[in-house]
Structure 1
Amino acid sequence: MRLAPAVLCLGVLLAVSAAQASTSSYTVKNRRIEPNQPLAVALQDAGLPPEQVSAVVAALEGVFDFRKSRVGDQFRLVLREGELDFFGYRQSAVDEWQVRRDGERYVGSKRAIEVEKQVALVTLDITHSLYEAAVTAGEDPLIGMVLADVFAWDIDFYRDVRQGDRARALVEKFVSKGRLLRYGEVLAATYRGGAVGQKRVFRYELPDGRASFFQEDGSSARKAFLKSPLKYAHVTSSFGSRFHPVLQYVKAHNGVDYSASVGTPVWAVADGVVTVAAHTGAGGNTVCLRHSNGFETCYLHLSKFGQGVRTGSRVNQKQVIALSGNTGRTTGPHLHYALKRNGHYVNPLNQNFPRTEPLPKNLLADFSAKVAPLARQIDAVSVAEASAGN
């Protein structure tokens, strides 16, 4: 059968178009933002022509705040026949922007990523460290930091952790496509330890909107002072007399030294007022705080003061007041932490501070009702595990 000339011409045109499409040349370039490199400069350095750089910038105006571009941000260029076809910019798993070609113009948008909030039970069986326990359990090691924050009043997660301890928490997880993005609030947590015994706390939102942790009977999980000014800390020199490593003679050591790399965040162990925020010679950069009931604390050899930390300013417990360092008379990076009571130095490691105010009696019924289902979730697992072991 012979085909009409028009049909033959159409077939040839379709074949030629398909051949051209199949031979289109695509180039993909993956880059990162470098120090002191604005996005427009990064695009030029990646080889994008000036007019297309301008088109990308114009497409993202009102969609992406260029001032929030950070060193290490990733971007991708997809070029077809040397012309920009697609631009993708990624800051995190949930923060991505795109520019796509639409005819003769480019359109920018933020990529919509579906995020699901789940409440999950996390169980960490400790053989060596909280970090290794999290990895073994298939969790992000950041869960260790979360738990260190929850139990900061009762547990020093360097000195108090023992092999065989177990931590368990009901925690919010924000997940996208089955991948953990971050942890949210801890709703309930328990810790059973050889050195600290059994700890059990529950998150409760007060009528004014503030949330805090309480024990099951309504007593506060908070204490006037934290156990340590660092989330994780290794004591390298205890309170008392010692042979000074620099001065080379026995001298009173009126505090505790913690091994800490330069830049480690330092917490205020209690609410207070800044009395010193300056370089003090042998102590290097120093912050001292005045607290209630005649207590004072000092933090020495710092690399940097926290934002707003100056003489006379007020700070809150757990506020980052400084970064640890290696200033003053030292033999290496560390934090020297000192505690005074009524003008006399005392050992920070053997103090037993009282808990803060318990829940008011008029809130106990509501607290118990909200805590009960959380306690059942943790206890149900405990019973199941005990049954499985028999």
Structure 2
Amino acid sequence: MKTASLLCLAALGVASTSEAATQFEIKNRRIEPRQTLAGALHDAQLPDEQVTAVISALEGVFDFRKSRVGDQFRLVMKNGELDFFDYRQSTVDEWQVRRDGEKYVGSKRSIEVEKQVSLVSLEISSSLYEATLAAGEDPSIGLVLSDVFAWDIDFYRDVRKGDKAKALVEKFVSKGRVLRYGEVLAATYEGGLVGNKRVFRYVLPNGEANFFQEDGASAKKTFLKSPLKYAHVTSSFGSRFHPVLQYVKNHNGVDYGTPIGTPVWAVADGTVVSAGNAGAAGNMVVLRHANGMETQYMHLSRFGDGVRAGQRVRQKQVIAYSGNTGRSTGPHLHFGLKRNGTYANPLTQKFPRADPLPKELTADFLAKAHDLAQQIDAVSVAAVAGQAGPPPTATK
């Protein structure tokens, strides 16, 4: 017993001596404004020759031009010398430098990402945003759904309490955490105002993916319901008391209250008539569309890349960003619509759907839509507003 105790003490003594001989220090830092990676390493008091070694090890592995403010890095020092370095930009973007004898070796960390197909079920009590949180989903799924139903549903004006939405959607998952959503394969919306909507994603022979209804009719219309994904109407079409001019004046469009910098969509395919400053309208884009239609987007903060007179634009292309320029009392987007030169109320227009699925593809589409419909109908709505926890998922 005494001998065993002495052996234990001896073992403890050896461990203590070893720990005393090897000293570790860990430094956690972030990239600060106007700071390069090399500068950040110097500021962390890494010796000059080791800064050079780290930069050299990462050459060809990491693009230093993509270093961003807020990026995190860690230095593990062993007896005053660098033993390990890692640099992290996101959950899937991480680089490392390890000591290998007398040299340092850099690499990008391999992170396993799994693609799952899951059913997201929502029931709306106040807003789509709140419904996503109640279902344990990332709010970005709301943007995905608003994109899918952009031709039929204005997710600020048309949503009612008790509306239900479901989407069969790709999720990219790492270590149990959803990194991002991928493609929506099918989606349904049961609305008190808009009725029941049901769409399926189908890839055409040319590789282009579109959404179609169960009978093969296109889910797309020639015009979107709104030039913004999310916004609320602050001033409707018609006569109103002008807040700046202080008299009753025709309001030839719709005002959407939205923060400065919100992306603005082209509501339909068309050609840019003008893009520039227009006095009281501030920065403005005017688009000409088929069948004598014209749309106007006013009070913008800036224009989309390459948006200029004569350029062709596609529906859903970001043509500008909302702002507060010109005769404006606050950040908003003024959206105007003309039919054959006469202003019309954008909120009351009825637009035709795009071309349906070609007849020769109908049988293939119906078979694939039937399979997707079975998956989306297999699970009832599980995410009731206010209920904690994520909905059940179907994975394939």
TM-score w.r.t. length of structure 1: 0.93
Distance 1:198 1:53, change over 3 A: same
CA distance in 2, matches of 1:216, 1:55: 60
Q: Is the 8 A contact 2:123 2:381 kept in 1?
A: no
* Equivalent-residue separation in structure 2 for 1:82 and 1:244 (angstroms): 70
1:56 partner amino acid:
V
Q: Higher relative CO (CA 8 A, sep ≥ 6), structure 1 or 2?
A: 2
DSSP-derived class of the 2:250 partner: strand
Indicate the larger mover: 27-36 or 139-148.
27-36
1:202 maps to 200
Cα distance 1:22–1:334, how it changes in 2: closer, same or farther (>3 A)? Answer: same
Q: How far apart, in 1, do the equivalents of 2:265 and 2:48 lie?
A: 48
Instruction: Name the residue aligned to 1:125.
Output: 123
Question: Hey, what does 1:68 align to over in structure 2?
Answer: 66
Partner of 2:176: 178
Give distance in 2, aligned partners of 1:169 and 1:16: 61
**Deviation of residue 24 (structure 1)?**
2.9
Q: Which of residues 289, 309, 312 in structure 2 aligns to 1:311?
A: 309
1:267 deviates by: 0.7
Q: Which residue of 1 aligns with 2:221?
A: 223
Corresponding residue of 1:328: 326
Q: How much does 1:76 deviate? A: 1.4
Task: State which of 58, 70, 87 in structure 1 corresponds to 2:56.
Answer: 58
The residue aligned with 2:296 is: 298
What does residue range 341-356 of structure 1 map to in structure 2 within 5 Å? 341-356=339-354
Other structure's SS at 1:381 match:
coil
Instruction: Spell out, residue by residue over 1:187-246, the C-alpha distance to the aligned partner (whole angstroms, 9 max, x if none).
Output: 000000111000000000000000000000000000011100110011000001111101
Question: Structure 1's 151 and 88: CA in aligned 2 closer, same or farther, altered over 3 A?
Answer: same
Q: Which moved more, 1:371-380 or 1:202-211?
A: 371-380
Tell me which amino acid in the other structure corresponds to 1:212.
Answer: N
Aligned residue in 1 for 2:234:
236
Q: Which residue of 1 aligns with 2:32?
A: 34
Give the C-alpha shift of residue 37 in structure 1: 1.8
Tell me which moved more, 35-44 or 53-62: 35-44
TM-score normalised by the chain length of structure 2: 0.91
- Report the Cα offset of residue 321 of structure 1: 0.7
Establish whether residue 275 from structure 1 lines up as the match of residue 273 from structure 2: yes
Structure 1 Cα separation of the partners of residues 22 and 155 of structure 2: 59
Instruction: Tell me which of 245, 263, 268 is aligned to 1:247.
Output: 245
Q: Using the alignment, how far apart are the partners of 1:59 and 1:118 within structure 2?
A: 35
Distance in 2 between the 1:123 and 1:311 partners?
44
Listed one character per residue, the Cα deviations across residues 57-91 of structure 1 (whole Å, up to 9, x for unaligned) are: 10001111111112222211222232212111111
Cα separation, partners in 2 of 1:96 and 1:289, compared to 1, 3 Å: same
Question: Which amino acid in 1 is paired with 2:316?
Answer: K
Deviates more, 1:28-37 or 1:239-248: 28-37
Equivalent position SS for 2:259: coil
Q: CA deviation at 1:22?
A: 5.2
SS of the residue 1:376 aligns to: helix
**Partner of residue 263 from structure 1, selected from 261, 265, 273:** 261
Q: Where do 1:374-385 residues align within 5 Å? A: 374-382=372-380
Partner of 1:87: 85
Q: CA deviation at 1:181?
A: 0.5
> Do 2:122 and 2:382's aligned partners in 1 also have CA atoms closer than 8 Å?
no
Aligned partner of 1:86: which letter?
F
- Measured in 2, the distance between the counterparts of 1:166 and 1:340 equals 34
Superposition deviation, residue 383 in structure 1: 9.9
Q: Which runs of 5+ in 1 are unaligned?
A: 1-11, 386-390
**Greater shift in the superposed pair: 213-222 or 69-78:** 69-78
Structure 1 residues 34-63: Cα deviation after superposition (integer angstroms, max 9, x where no partner): 222221112222222221111111000111
Q: Which amino acid aligns with 2:112?
A: E
How many residues are treated as equivalent by the alignment? 375
Runs ≥4 residues deviating over 6 A = 12-15
Which deviations, in whole Å up to 9, do the C-alpha atoms of 1:92-129 show, x marking residues without a partner?
11111111111221110000111100000000110011
Residue type of the partner of 1:81? N
Secondary structure of the structure 1 residue equivalent to 2:360: helix
Q: Distance in 2 between matches of 1:69 and 1:76?
A: 15
Q: Take 1:57 and 1:19, find their aligned partners in 2: how far apart are those partners?
A: 35
Distance apart, 1:349 and its partner CA: 0.4
Give the deviation of 1:259 after TM superposition. 0.5
The CA distance in 1 between the partners of 2:158 and 2:382, in whole Å, is 28
Superposed displacement of residue 29, structure 1: 2.0
Code of the residue aligned with 1:296 in structure 2: it is E
Structure 2 residue ranges without an equivalent (≥5):
1-9, 384-396
Distance in 2, Cα, partners of 1:205 & 1:58: 45
Partner of residue 151, structure 1: 149
CA distance in 2, matches of 1:88, 1:238: 54
In structure 1, C-alpha distance between the alignment counterparts of 2:241 and 2:129, rounded to whole Å: 34
Partner SS, residue 92 of structure 1: coil
Task: Report the CA distance shift for 1:58/1:134 in structure 2 as closer, same or farther (over 3 A).
Answer: same
Give the match's secondary structure for 2:366: helix
For 1:261, give the aligned amino acid: P
